[in-house]
Amino acid sequence: NRSGTAVRTLGCIISIDMDLGTRNAGFQEDKSEEPTAQITKFDSEEKSDAMSLKLDTVEEYNQIKPYAGMPKEVLLLYSSQARYKVPREILFWLTVACTLALVALTITVIALSPRCLSWWQMSPVYQIYPRSFKDSDGDGVGDLKGILEQLDHFDYLNIKAVWISPFYRSPMKDFGYDVEDFRDIDPLFGTMQDFEELLAEMHKRDLKLIMDFIPNHTSDKHRWFNLSRSGDPQYRDYYVWTDCNASNPKPNNWVSIFGNSSWSYDKVRGQCYYHQFLKEQPDLNLRNPHVRKEISDLIHFWLEKGVDGFRMDAVKHIFEAEHLRDEPQVDPDKPPEEITTEWDLHHDYTTTQVGLHDLLREWRAEMDIYSREPGRYRFLVTESYDYHEIEKTMMYYSTPLVKEGDFPFNFYLLDLPQNTSGLWAKHLIDLWMSNMPNGQWANWVVGNHDRLRIGTSAGPSFIRTINMMLLSLPGTVTTYYGEEIGMQNINITQDQVQDPAGRYNVSLSRDPQRSPMQWSDDMNAGFNPKTNLTWLPIHPDYKTVNVEAQMNDASSVLAQYRYLNILRESEMPLHRGWFCHVHADARVFSYLRELDGLSRAFLVVLNFDNEPAVTDLSSIMELPSQVNVLVSTVHTNKGKSMPKSQIQTEAGEGLLIQFSSNMKFNHNHKEQCYISEKACYLEAMGILYKC
């Protein structure tokens, strides 16, 4: 009834007044029997005893199912029943098992996942020669504010790392490589505040800044040298000095990189000092622990500023033999007085001396202190021209036990124009890959501030093809400013020479490859829009070969460079997959880029000849019978379909072909394939793992 109901338990009748509470909608009355109980009054003691009795009944409780708001006694009654207890236990242990499985899977994925690529592996390194990049104040010389103005260019190209050649305070005898003060900016380029603003904006855009660092020598205007030549006890041995005769200052036959003796007499000190470059660039004595401490402090100074890495200049020259013996002549019969160039001697005592790699490893350890912050790895690349002694270059790589450089610059592709053929290209690439230590990362250079632009040395018809090769090879590309638009060397006359190396012989000048960047078809190619001043002449082709014009042309060198760079970053076979050369002849070089487990792969076909070619790759079973061109350096050939037995290329044309295959070339041709760190792709789950 509405006023109350009776519940029988243990033969007792308990009176419950329902008007004292709220009716529970989840409660269902038992309609199988009519309520016949009468309300009986008990004294307070008996009622209390009855309410405390447990419900493990003599007469089974007949409520059909639990209901919301049930008392504890009813809850306990149901929770002890198997049909409620067992599901709870099943759910509990299932939750435990799933948690453990998830933890195990996470640990497994972490353990099996290959190392993530660092920022210096994911993007080309773009070299800026600051005098020539962008002039912001109208004096005809590029500067730091000019670089700041053009940071959008790197965003457009998808460039993530920028190396800036020296901008330290300098007398500019060697355009910044003769440093007067390592802790200051030369006024020609701006101020320290300009540098800090540039660095902050670069980091805001997720751009990394690599500085040029010159540990081998200073300017003769440096404070250390002035104190050393005056005999200051603390600085006396900061440089390499020896006794010599003022009338004939040649303690031995060692020669400078720029020619003639590498010794110069200093009348203040009355001794000769050693310089492997210009006489205004005296070599530091890095055997002196105080000098090493000075260099270490300089590294800390710039790392504290926030720079992301260093390009270590001329590292093979850091030490020289203390005994100062004559170096052996290349031609033993040549008169000693005619030994005037670096090519006349075997440099057994002036390059790659004992202790060099120990010193570089010390600096690497100093840099690693700043690499502990997540995402702030500090990068180290070394410069050493070792020519035919490639084994010396490979020593700059780190080992599994000791860290040194992330990679040394690979200058061997600078020789590509000597013989533009498929066989020669294959030889130069294989030279590096076959000598590189296992697990290391490759690097490719085709031009810089000291060497001819590739557009001039190889010819403008090969610029696109060489860029395609660079951006499809494994490793990090170094792009010298202007290569992305196909800039070429300028022609200069003797009276236009700025480079000290060319003042007596214009053919030795490095000025032609240092001409101002071509931004637009405006005055001075947009390099200096304020005045009619440029420190070197502008190339006359700037009206068509400039950034602005090529941004609006889908078939331009710039458009192709940008597309390939973005593709390289997005496609795993291109940035971390296998490299397998599959064909080389007098005209064509061809290779595959593939990743185990991923069906998508790429074929690159490069014609280095001045004639069209037809390449038969029917023996490559991993290729489909018909292939489609994804990118061609001849824009009209994009999308073209052809049989693999007749892959046609025009003179100087490069093709990037994407195809799908579950067969992998590297499985059966290990001797033709290279990879830095092997990884496999689980396509069903989209997971990359070690294999």
**Which residues participate in catalysis according to the annotation?**
313, 383
Dihedral angle of Cα 265, 271, 277, 280, to the nearest 10 degrees = -60
Mention every residue, 6+ apart, whose C-beta is less than 8 A from residue 146: 130, 133, 134, 135, 136
d(CA 409, CA 477): 10
Cβ(143)–Cβ(190) under 8 Å? yes
- The full DSSP string for 461-508 is GGHHHHHHHHHHSSSEEEEETTTTTT--PPP--GGG---GGGSS-GGG
Cβ(498)–Cβ(516) under 8 Å? no
Compute the half-sphere exposure of residue 243: CA atoms within 13 Å on the CB side of its CA.
Answer: 0
Cβ(345)–Cβ(262) under 8 Å? no
> What's the token pair of residue 21?
């509470």
Mention every residue, 6+ apart, whose C-beta is less than 8 A from residue 566: 158
> What's the token pair of residue 407?
């990679």
Cβ(134)–Cβ(519) under 8 Å? yes
d(CA 501, CA 497): 9
Q: Which amino acid is at 193?
A: Q
Q: Which amino acid is at 683?
A: E
In the chain, what is the straight-line distance between the N-terminal and C-terminal CA atoms, in Å? 76
> What's the token pair of residue 75?
């809850």
* C-alpha distances out from residue 17 to 23, 74, 285, Å: 11, 18, 103
d(CA 232, CA 74): 97
Classify 444 as helix, strand or coil: strand
Cβ(408)–Cβ(384) under 8 Å? yes
Cβ(26)–Cβ(69) under 8 Å? yes
Cβ(356)–Cβ(404) under 8 Å? no
Cβ(269)–Cβ(304) under 8 Å? no
Cβ(385)–Cβ(411) under 8 Å? yes
Q: How many other C-beta atoms can be found within 10 angstroms of the C-beta atom of residue 403?
A: 17
114 DSSP assignment: P
Cβ(579)–Cβ(674) under 8 Å? yes
Q: How many other C-beta atoms can be found within 10 angstroms of the C-beta atom of residue 375?
A: 8
Classify 318 as helix, strand or coil: coil
Classify 366 as helix, strand or coil: helix
